[in-house]
Amino acid sequence: MHRLQNWGFRITMIYFGFVIFILTLVVIATRQKFDLVSSNYYERELNYESQIQKLRRAAKNQITPEIKNRQLTLIFKNPSLSKGTVLLYRPANAQEDITITLEPKSGKQEIDLSNLSKGLWRAKFEWTENSNDFYQEELIWIE
């Protein structure tokens, strides 16, 4: 009982408790997995001006995504799409990212999402119409 009343012992215990707490935080932080947004982010940054032009053009010819029953329906304003892709980007895990070729039939395309994890995804659309490039991003939530 004398030992607990000693202020030197209490300070030492608080200090050791703090050290253990900090070491626990360091171990947790070093075990966290983090992914870069893109492995070639420097090259993408150099070409960002062309990306801005694609975004401006896409503001007029948007793709409208709709999700129902784990099915993504893409509705194209202009069905003269010559080629394009959609990257389903998973911010939480880069290994789950998938790229799908856009092949609209009568202005629509259906994409099955049943094999994707639940949660937040970012759909990145890139397509070409009449030799103009377009880019659009949409956040989608899969339940």
Residue 130 CA to residue 35 CA, distance in Å, equals: 36
Number of H helices, E strands in the chain: 4, 7
The residue assigned the tokens 């009568």 is 106
Tokens of 9: 């012992």
Tokens of 64: 């409208």
pLDDT band with cut points at 50, 70 and 90 for residue 82: low
Convert the pLDDT of each residue in 8-54 to its tens digit: 888 999 999 999 999 999 999 988 876 666 667 777 777 788 888 88
* pLDDT computed for residue 79 by the predictor: 67
Q: What are the residues whose beta carbons fall under 8 Å from the beta carbon of 104, sequence distance 6 or more?
A: 74, 76, 79, 81
